[in-house]
Amino acid sequence: MPKLEQHRVVPKLAIHSPRTSHPPKRQVASVLDDAESSLVDVIDNLLAKGVMLNADLILALANVDLIYVRLSALLCAADRVIPPFPKERNPRRG
């Protein structure tokens, strides 16, 4: 008597890594959460127009304060102080 081979239907095993089980981020969010761009943004938003420096300078002789200078200076590239576009054109109007 021929041997009957038994076949069992094995259910498909879906293997997911834990990472892929999270719902995918929306595309807009993935653009905005770019960590690399955050450094560039911080530099551009806060430092591109320069920084204010404040200092107190006291010139003294033999422990006697003679001259007091209070410094408040703007440190930045010259091209960033002068507004590049004095009168902006509205791009809607072409």
Q: 44 vs 58, which CB is nearer to other proteins?
A: 44
Our finding on whether 59 is near other proteins (CB under 8 A) is no
d(CA 50, CA 40): 15
B/e letters for 43-62, b = 16+ CB within 10 Å, e = fewer, are eeeeeeeeeeeeeeeeeeee
Our finding on whether 58 is near other proteins (CB under 8 A) is no
Our finding on whether 39 is near other proteins (CB under 8 A) is yes
Token code pair at residue 42:
């911080």
Q: C-beta of 34: minimal distance to other proteins in Å?
A: 6
Our finding on whether 31 is near other proteins (CB under 8 A) is yes
